[in-house]
Amino acid sequence: MNAALAVIAAFLAFALFIGIRARRGRTMSLEQWAVGGRGFGTLLVFLLMAGEAFSTFTFLGASGWAYSKGPPAFYILAYGALAYLLGYWMLPAAWRHATKHHCVSFSDFFATAYRSRALGVVVSVVAVLGMSALLIIQLRGLGIIVSEASYGTIPPAVAIWCGAIAMVLYITVSGIHGSASIAIYKDILILVIAVFLGIYLPLHYFGGFGEMFDRIEAARPGFLQMPTNGLTLSWYNSTILLTSLGYYLYPYVFTSVYAAKTESAVRKNTILMPLYQMVIAFMFFVGFAAILQVPGLSGADSDLALLRIVKQTFSPWFVGVIGGVGVLTALVPGSMILLNASTLIAKNIYRDGFAPQASEAFVGKLAKRVLPVFGLVAVFFVLRGGATFVALALFASSLLTQLFPSFVASLLPRPFGNKYGAFAGIGAGALVLLAAVGFDVNLRTLLPGASDTVASINMGLVALAVNAVTFVAVSILTRSRHVEAGILRKV
Tens-place pLDDT, residues 439-486: 888 888 888 888 888 888 989 899 999 999 999 999 999 986 554 444
Determine contact, residues 201/289, Cβ cutoff 8 Å: yes
Tens-place pLDDT, residues 47-82: 777 666 677 777 788 899 999 999 999 998 888 888
Neighbours of 228 (CB within 10 A): 11
Neighbours of 324 (CB within 10 A): 25
pLDDT at site 253: 82
pLDDT at site 134: 82
Alpha-carbon distance 142 to 144, whole Å?
Answer: 6
> In 101-155, which residue ranges form alpha helices assigned H by DSSP?
106-113, 117-149
Question: Quick check: helix, strand or coil at residue 486?
Answer: strand
| Closest residue by Cα to residue 241 from 78, 387, 117 | 78
Helix 305-313 with 263-293: angle, nearest 10 deg: 70
Alpha-carbon distance 240 to 101, whole Å?
Answer: 32
* Chain CA centroid to CA 200, Å: 28
**pLDDT by position in tens, the chain (length 491):** 588 999 999 999 999 999 999 998 888 888 899 888 788 877 778 777 766 667 777 778 889 999 999 999 999 888 888 898 999 999 999 999 999 999 999 999 999 999 999 999 999 988 888 888 888 888 888 998 999 999 988 999 999 999 999 999 999 999 999 988 998 888 889 889 999 999 999 999 999 999 999 999 999 999 999 998 888 999 999 999 988 998 888 888 888 888 888 899 889 888 888 877 778 899 999 999 999 999 999 887 898 999 999 999 999 999 999 999 999 989 988 999 999 999 999 999 999 888 889 998 999 999 999 999 999 988 888 887 655 555 656 677 678 889 999 999 999 888 888 999 999 999 999 899 888 877 888 888 888 888 888 888 989 899 999 999 999 999 999 986 554 444 444 33
Whole-model pTM? 0.86
Residue 483: DSSP 8-state: G
Alpha-carbon distance 266 to 87, whole Å?
Answer: 9
Alpha-carbon distance 218 to 13, whole Å?
Answer: 46
Alpha-carbon distance 424 to 431, whole Å?
Answer: 11
Alpha-carbon distance 487 to 491, whole Å?
Answer: 10
